[in-house]
Structure 1
């Protein structure tokens, strides 16, 4: 088959798809990729043909505030609404026209599309192509038992919480995401495509796909009243890596003296410009705990941080090979990027999570609900709160035990193999 992958030019969306693409390529399929120019070299190294954005705006982790200076001043619901309209909804017709144009050079049989591209209805309905929705974040499909997105709610436990969450859902639909929904509908109207009024904008990729690849195990999702048979939970989909991994960014645990515990700290690859949010409070919290502390800055402020924290037990790198480091990690301190959280749990490492924006509050709510980490419910936690949470996890084996049980869920499948099988099993669109 000719298989087209399509994704945002954002690491957390692109990287988890690479393992699946390479597995399909190894199984004899011809694979091409539509994404931003920033991944040209990466795709060339993988031997995958690249179709760069032509009309579409390339939204990257490092250029969002440059493209939209006003974004830096927004927080909470205002930031969510802005991102929904500018970064996701406004690009839909551009994505579609680019894909329709490239089809002349690459007449693909099936498309595997990042859920945040929101181009699923146009590609499946107007091009008649089977489409697989790839979800690199928690399951976005609405359900009566699942809290509304972006608020960091856990499933309601009583009537009061149900009322509060219902009100928040209305606020999200009618106010926060209204500009994004209106933009999405306007663009579809131009193509004669009617978008159903029922449900939410985030349901669209699920409606208009023949199958859904959902990263993570089902046990890490909230309980649902309605089970969508098209959704396939495949486990932790990791970036593709050669059989013999090694590189300057990898951290070898034996390069430093032995410590009673190892802690890993990161603030992700998007919201990492202001290290006072998590990295510096975390270092202040744990620097004197007698633990090995490994910090991944995401490529920002690394040298300054090294100078600020020259202690022998603190290792600061631009990037860290988490898959290797988590083999000897005791606690992962993170703002809640879904990929890092999954990798941590797939290796049985409990977490301290602290993040709100970019949907991280919903990831962290799942960490808390599953009992595999402590959620600090803050974008800028105090060192004392971080220290207390880390000490709690180190002192109580039950945290590690629950993380290990979650690891067993991840170990049940080969994620790339399961995802490749989903792609190979699709058929012609049936509408939606």
Structure 2
């Protein structure tokens, strides 16, 4: 039996998978404490773990940006400001919470969401003075590499010396010029926390952890000849299967002969349904397909224009029961949703341009599992062409099914539990 601390930001893409991990650890007999936003207290208790809510100053600031000032700010400056505000600024308050919790319990291991930078001062300590730390990334792998372009560009890897030269130049420019203000802000906050300066680029902090957990399969991640030794691919980590869900009366329609196309903008970047949902509805209105729309919790009445006869709209449908009936998924590229689709053998059309979505979209195209539209606001014509291409060209379905097989060979939750045991055993061996 181990005492495990899980620390995460509160957006569901960050905490959701880690609640699944928490439940598994509790089931096997571990004592688990979860530090995250207060909105998840009931969910934490439901999986048998102990909640420790973050104060507002320590959590992800989900209040909207001033769109007028944001629009007038140069993109690189806006990016630096966003990273600092959303992820770096909470660091001192997060660290204070971690120290408070750790003062009461001697934890055997810590699992930290990659965006929870309050763990950074602990990572910079001597390893013998802190519990083993496993860093869990809820996004495509951010680690710098000679074989990949900088994270955020949505640029697929090339081959040969020209690609490596390109990557080297882009990485230097990204780290030493474009994101230099973010690196400075991180070091200033670390100094405030009584820690040293970062020995690596901010987004490479995963190399400092005892293990860096990547919740996908190698087939869906760019190959790297310089992959750090602490990286572990574990396969997908999905939410718990839906229980007690009652299918709506129209559900049998999905078992008819015509293809099913599912479109979603996720649960975060869904304030403006005209970005993807409305163009998809318009694009497929006259096609011989069934379109299943989910608004991610937003009122379905926010969809402008008529709903065609071939289209079904719902605020939410559980993906574990929906995706086995889907032939193509149209999405803005949330990492968790895309992992869910490819692990179910569903090919994709991806239209994403915010947060990590360009990187997700690029991996979908690189892996052969779908089409990257390279925009977050595609026209109806572009969406329609892409959906028809994926339905017509069987190589997308074939590749998605190959990925499904790769995911089926892994149990992400069980592999994370094994990694927890592994780092605890290593620490005890060193201490003996």
TM-score normalized by the length of structure 2: 0.90
Distance 1:154 1:251 in 2: 43
Distance 1:43 1:71 in 2: 35
Structure 2 CA distance for partners of 1:12 and 1:250, relative to 1, 3 Å: farther
Offset, 1:255 = 5.1
Contact preservation (8 Å) 1:80, 1:150: no
Offset, 1:156 = 2.5
Which position in structure 2 is the counterpart of 1:338? Answer: 335
Distance 1:354 1:162 in 2: 27
Distance 1:419 1:213 in 2: 8
Offset, 1:118 = 2.2
Offset, 1:282 = 1.2
Structure 2 CA distance for partners of 1:212 and 1:395, relative to 1, 3 Å: same
Distance 1:159 1:131 in 2: 36
Contact preservation (8 Å) 1:84, 1:177: no
Contact preservation (8 Å) 1:331, 1:390: yes
Distance 1:259 1:72 in 2: 46
Structure 2 CA distance for partners of 1:411 and 1:369, relative to 1, 3 Å: same
Which position in structure 2 is the counterpart of 1:11? Answer: 12
Contact preservation (8 Å) 2:35, 2:52: yes
Which position in structure 2 is the counterpart of 1:303? Answer: 301
Q: RCO higher in 1 or 2 (8 Å CA, sep ≥ 6)?
A: 1
Structure 2 CA distance for partners of 1:97 and 1:250, relative to 1, 3 Å: farther
Contact preservation (8 Å) 2:207, 2:228: no
Structure 2 CA distance for partners of 1:426 and 1:36, relative to 1, 3 Å: same
Q: Which secondary structure does the structure 1 equivalent of 2:57 belong to? A: coil
Which position in structure 2 is the counterpart of 1:156? Answer: 158
Structure 2 CA distance for partners of 1:177 and 1:270, relative to 1, 3 Å: farther
Distance 1:20 1:355 in 2: 28
Report Cα offsets for 1:293-346 as digits up to 9, x if no partner: 1111112242232x7343332121222211111101100101111101111000
Q: Which secondary structure does the structure 2 equivalent of 1:408 belong to? A: helix
Unmatched 5+ stretches in structure 1: none
TM-score normalized by the length of structure 1: 0.90
Q: Which secondary structure does the structure 2 equivalent of 1:235 belong to? A: coil
Offset, 1:129 = 1.6
Contact preservation (8 Å) 2:92, 2:193: no
1:149-188 pair list within 5 angstroms: 149-157=151-159, 164-188=166-190
Which position in structure 2 is the counterpart of 1:20? Answer: 21
Aligned positions, number: 423
Structure 2 CA distance for partners of 1:72 and 1:35, relative to 1, 3 Å: farther
Structure 2 CA distance for partners of 1:79 and 1:313, relative to 1, 3 Å: farther
1:241-390 pair list within 5 angstroms: 241=241, 245-247=243-245, 253-254=251-252, 258-305=256-303, 308-390=305-387
Structure 2 CA distance for partners of 1:78 and 1:367, relative to 1, 3 Å: farther
Contact preservation (8 Å) 2:93, 2:118: no
Q: Which secondary structure does the structure 1 equivalent of 2:195 belong to? A: coil
Distance 2:246 2:210 in 1: 41
Which position in structure 1 is the counterpart of 2:50? Answer: 49
Provide the aligned C-alpha RMSD in A: 2.5
Contact preservation (8 Å) 1:90, 1:180: no
Report Cα offsets for 1:197-228 as digits up to 9, x if no partner: 4x421111x23211122110011111101132
